[in-house]
Amino acid sequence: MTRLRRIAATAVVLSLALPFSARAERELPPEGGEPKNFSLPEAHTFSMINGLRATLVPFGNVPKVSVGVMVRTGNVDEKTEEIWLADIVGDMLTEGTIRRTSSEIARDISDMGSEVRVRVGADRLSISTDVLSEYGLDAMRLLAEILTTPSFPEGELERIKADNLRSLSVARTRAQSLANERLSEVLYGDHRYGTTYPTKELLQGYTIDQVRAFHSKHFGAARTHVYVVGDFDTKRMEMMIRAVFLSFAMGPPPSEQIPNTSSERVLHLIDRPDAPQSTIRIAISVADPSHADFIPLEVTNTLLGGSFSSRIIQNVREDKGYSYSPYSSIRTHYHDAYWVESADVTTEHTGATIGEIFFEIDRLRNEAPSEEELSSVQSYMSGSFVLSNSSRWGIMGQLIYADFQGLGDDFLTSYVENIHAVSADQVRDMARRYLHDENMAIVVVGDTALVRAQIEPFGKIVN
């Protein structure tokens, strides 16, 4: 044995010889400091005469810049006979402009060492990229061209529709997709949020004229906000934005189709013969992000089921072993939100899992959490928030969320403080005010023959 190894071995023996309490005391990590609010780098925001807004945030020392354009449109603007038309439009945006073909777009952004990402959601469409700072102005020019002057080549439409048909077919085979689809129908009914998927026939029938008409009607400067975060010259970037979006038509203001949601204790059972597990959704409408209760609700959700150490996860996963990954979340649209508990559980434990979820909800409604438990949740939330804002994309995402929901300039900078201002009594009161289990919609996708008897005690069952 070498001298170095003898020293290491002796150290281990001496350590093990110490009383456990002495070792534990020596190994205790230092106590954390006081939580600090997130400090947003100084932002420069301006508006153009056509209604377009831009927010520029110098951030970091790495010579890279993230460029994003958010448009207030998406699936919410589709008519009943246009389900997923917004998705088709989003896919077609990078298929060519009046100046460049799709191959040229791909080549040019590749030369910048990046790619163009287009994402379509219920209320928002975004186009973004991340490039070295020396290409920041070129990237902005390219994104503006894609957004404002797409050519929508008819020859590419059939391929785009085929891609979406494959996605639709895959979604129809997944229990989670079926559960989410039914939950949307239950919560939102005839509102556009209530329909998730088109029929194959509808998707196959879309024409290039419909694609162009949707873009013409729902895209415009008044619905557009440009974000730039990273290392760049602010004056030159502003000049570029003003130049490339100068001719962008104002278009209509953003549509505000806020739903009136309601739910009742009905169990929606979707048969999946011989399924080894059941997919569960339990949901109810709650206050939206613009409401004063929303941050206390976020704390309540994190404590109840929204973090690994939360009550439902500790109960259902750690103690009972019914599910590997139960979790709860607050899902949002524009000025709309609902709380949902999601779980994939072994079939024989379907009813027991629902019972334990309601047990934890009722326990929180009846008794405020301890200060120690609440403090742990608040530290987790504030740490996660600050960590998420340590990157260009993280900052941009937070700015988009705050602007979209109209939360004000101080939302980000006071978020940590507001989290830690929530009291234990407030958490209990949030559960009492919003988490009424007698009004929660329940969706179960599983083997009806094995599941029905288990869930009958929880209310009326519909298929």
What is the pLDDT confidence band of residue 127, given thresholds at 50, 70 and 90? very high
Per-residue model confidence as pLDDT tens digits over 292-332: 999 999 999 999 999 999 999 999 999 999 998 899 999 99
CA distance 105 to 90: 15
What is the pLDDT confidence band of residue 1, given thresholds at 50, 70 and 90? very low
Q: Which CATH number fits domain 266-462: 3.80.10.10, 3.30.830.10, 3.10.20.30, 1.20.1250.20?
A: 3.30.830.10
Average pLDDT over residues 251-261: 90
pLDDT score of 102 more than 80: yes
pLDDT score of 269 more than 60: yes
* Sign of torsion over alpha carbons 309, 311, 317, 321: positive
Please report the pLDDT score of residue 27 as a whole number: 56
The domain spans of the chain are: 44-244, 266-462
Average pLDDT over residues 422-445: 97
Average pLDDT, the chain: 92
Pick from 352, 354, 345: nearest CA to 276: 345
Report which secondary-structure segment, H or E, holds 226: strand 224-230
Average pLDDT over residues 222-247: 98
Kindly report which listed range (35-49, 58-72, 448-462) carries the lowest average pLDDT score.
Answer: 35-49
Task: Judge whether 44-244 and 266-462 match in fold.
Answer: yes
Burial string for 369-378 (b: 16+ CB within 10 Å, else e) reads beeebbebbb
Q: Which CATH number fits domain 44-244: 3.40.50.720, 3.30.430.20, 3.30.70.2740, 3.30.830.10?
A: 3.30.830.10
Please report the pLDDT score of residue 325 as a whole number: 85
pLDDT score of 29 more than 80: no
Q: Which residues pair with 333 in a beta bridge?
A: 336
Q: Are 303 and 460 in contact (CB under 8 A)?
A: no
Per-residue model confidence as pLDDT tens digits over 48-94: 999 999 999 999 999 999 999 999 999 999 999 999 999 999 999 99
Per-residue model confidence as pLDDT tens digits over 157-166: 999 999 999 9
Average pLDDT over residues 436-460: 96
Per-residue model confidence as pLDDT tens digits over 165-224: 999 999 999 999 999 999 999 999 999 999 999 999 999 999 999 999 999 999 999 999
